[in-house]
Amino acid sequence: MKAVCPGSFDPVTMGHLDIFRRAADHFDEVIVLVTGNPNKHSGLFTIEERMELIRKATADVPSITVDWWGGLLVDYTNANNVNALVKGLRTALDYEYELPMAQMNRRLSGIDTLFLLTDNKYGYISSSLSKEVAKYGGDVRGMLPDVVVEAVQAKYRELEE
């Protein structure tokens, strides 16, 4: 059975990583799918940089692979025989955001979205908050995988130059 964990992952956090790893306990193959258009640079990291950071952070789990997609998610899942989408839920706000997407994807292709409850130690962590903390020199160790901590710090140093 094959699952996709979709998202923008700009950048991947410890919370995302925990969901990928737990998904890999339930599926033979987990594809982390970075969505977006590689030709339109929006966000801190390019699509390729985000993919590379996820590859490095999941290198010890062979059943996790990384791909990208610039179109409708269900076109990717149909073309690749994906059995389910897997996402994390932190709060009721996530639920409100995710519910219509899960229902839309099910209407469009019949695919189910399975939700894993975020581990409470990662419940308040998001890509955007950790970027804001890092931008002003705050300590983001433990919120982001080590390789991402270094990459975010390097990116902000680069932007300051």
Residue 85 labeled ligand binder: no
> Does 7 help bind ligand PNS (rule: CB under 6 A)?
yes
Please tell me whether 122 is known to bind a ligand: yes
| Interface with ligand PNS, residue 73, by CB under 6 A | yes
130 annotated to a ligand binding site: no
Measured between alpha carbons, how far is residue 83 from residues 4, 29, 35, 111, 116 in Å?
8, 10, 18, 7, 16
The helix/strand count (H/E) of the chain reads as 6, 5
Does residue 35 interact with ligand PNS by CB under 6 A?
yes
Mask of contacts with ligand PNS, 119-138, x by CB under 6 A? --------------------
Best CA proximity match to 76, nearest among 131, 138, 32: 32
- Annotated active-site positions, please? 16, 40, 90, 127
DSSP line for 102-127: HHHHHHHH--EEEEEEPPGGGTT--H
Q: Is 104 in the site for ligand PNS (CB under 6 A)?
A: yes
Angle at 34 between CA 31 and CA 39, to 5 degrees: 140
- Specify binding-site residues for substrate: 8, 40, 73, 87
- Please report, as ranges, the residues that interact with ligand PNS according to CB under 6 A: 6-8, 35, 72-73, 101, 104-105
- Specify binding-site residues for ATP: 8-9, 16, 88-90, 98, 122-128
